[in-house]
Amino acid sequence: MRTFFTAIALASLVLTGACSNQPDHGKLLKTATAGAKGKIKLRRNAEAAAPATPDLAKMVGESLARTSKPLTLIVIENRNGIAVLTQIESNKSYRTYASADRRSVTMTHGVITATRGLGADLMSAGIAGSLPAVRARQSGATSRTLRFLDGENQTVATTYSCNAKAGGSLQIRMGEVNSPARTVVETCSASSTSFENTYQVSPSGHVLQSRQWLGPQNGYVVTQALRL
């Protein structure tokens, strides 16, 4: 029974043909799941619903062939959802990626700052206290503010105290991405809520692959850059 993470890792082998580098691909997504230990686990039905490796490889390959625009792969863990999103807008370092039905994710340097069309959307994220450490691949105290709509359609902001910890290095190969990266795990908490974001960050400070928390309803998503 494959998890989404295993399916993506195996698809990267199919797409690149880099069989001799299989240990690196195992690390690629195992490190992304490590932050969930003891907190959130994939449900059994999510594991069962994960697409077969050839299907995922086909989806990614067809997406790359269809457009020359930047692409990112998104997995929404608790919805059994997986899709390739295409960049539709850019504003300085901010890039918005969307599906055909205009469900979208906005990122800066690969860190998610907003979503639309997912339900219980992340309206915006203040990450000025977090992004520098993540991009520099450094350990230290960080913070972030996440804003969601409440039941009365009012924006509620919560500021989380966080700690970033730099980890080991690995090679990320999937789609047209082939780059060394270093792991940064950011542990955050506020009141009774806590979560861990895991990033694989390139030497240039771009998050190539990650597992990020999008709130209590959407939970964690995995992102994988396919073309920058």
According to DSSP, the residues that pair with 133 across neighbouring strands are: none
- What element of type H or E holds 189? strand 177-190
Q: Supply the pLDDT for residue 54.
A: 61
Closest to 225 measured CA to CA, from 9, 71, 79, 42: 71
Residue 221, phi then psi, degrees to nearest 5: -125, 150
**Would you give per-residue pLDDT tens digits along the chain (228 residues)?**
334 444 455 454 444 433 333 333 333 233 333 333 323 232 333 333 445 556 888 889 999 999 999 999 999 988 878 899 999 999 999 999 999 988 999 999 999 999 999 989 999 999 999 999 999 999 999 999 999 998 888 999 999 999 999 999 999 999 999 999 999 999 999 999 999 999 999 999 999 999 999 999 999 999 999 999
Q: How many Å apart are CA 197 and CA 165, to the nearest integer? A: 11
Q: Do 112 and 96 touch, CB atoms closer than 8 A?
A: no
- pTM of the entire structure? 0.80
Query: How much is the pLDDT for 228?
Result: 97
Alpha helices in 126-220 (DSSP H): 131-136
